[in-house]
Amino acid sequence: MSDLDVMNLFIIAGGTLAIPILAFLASFLLWPSALIKVYYWYWRRTLGLQVRYADCGGYRFCYSYRGKPGLRPSILMLHGFSAHKDMWLTVVKYLPKHLHIVCVDMPGHEGTTRTNTEDYSIQGQVTRIHQFVETIRLNRKQFHLVGTSMGGNVAGVYAACYPSEICSMTLICPDGIRHPCETKFDNHLQDLEHSNYTLNIPLIPTTPEEMEDMFRLCSHVRFKIPQQILQGLVDVRQPHNTFYQEVFMEIVGENSRYALQDHLHLITAPLQVIWGKQDQVVDVSGATVIAEMLPGCRVDLLENCGHSVVMERPCRTAKLILEFIILQQNARSGTKKSS
């Protein structure tokens, strides 16, 4: 082969490689929101999660799952306000692949049907999630329920309303508790109430700067996020901001704000509470409130961790959840043998 042929091969190879590289750079600079969607798709695929839809009476739930029901209980994961099922990817990464895991988009969020405010209150979300559980027949066996923030509020009320379906549960920095100590977000909430909700809601950012402020509020660990990615996150959320405002007004309303605390006395399933000690959204003193009302619950407080436990301490969170599930399953097996 002549030197010219070799040179031509290098040029062709270089050109072939340049196309995906240039495409990536263009996506990063011009369409960061598209890059974010590809990122979630890639991680779902890498972790073996499949996306499915469950239809029930004209209402559609979008969810991802991995594994099949087996010896260990299935795990249903409920995300927080304005998030989606993919927020659990960081935790799923550290859970055994044989576990049956289901991550659902909460009512109105991402791929799940958007209806009206009745479905966005905590009780409304509980009703819809129960509809989802029945549609995919997850409650053929008792399952482990996990919820964070708003999803923790929903999970707690769910366990109170449908105790026979839950074998154990994990609440991560759950909303819905009258915590004794105020947080930075509580101060924002008071300002919002005084302004009759005319001020911007810190959890609904509209600019890259506000997005960065939200990360600082929710996370104790400081992540360096490029401006393009911040813009992409704003672009992805922007079309849904009116919906987020509707949900926000419902969950801070009189019937939903302290729904979890109002239902704690009805929870019979073994309970694990995980909380970041530096949570600036829902104060960690809420863990003490729960422990006082349910003395048998297990409390795990994480040092140097804020409200975004799933993002800040994914490996630790997965390990704690798995340990608790195994502990409770062994306790049940021991009880059966002794009887």
Catalytic residues: 149, 279, 307
| Concatenated DSSP letters of 22-65 | HHHHHHHHH-HHHHHHHHHHHHHHHHT-EEEEEEETTEEEEEEE
User: Shortest CA distance to 252 belongs to which of 214, 281, 289?
Assistant: 281
CA distance 59 to 13: 50
CA distance 158 to 154: 6
Compute CA distances 105 → 94, 230, 328, whole Å.
21, 22, 27
DSSP conformation class of 201: P
Q: Which residues, 6 or more positions from 100, have their beta carbon under 8 angstroms from its beta carbon?
A: 65, 66, 67, 68, 69, 70, 72, 74, 75
Q: Which residues, 6 or more positions from 219, have their beta carbon under 8 angstroms from its beta carbon?
A: 306, 307, 308, 311, 312
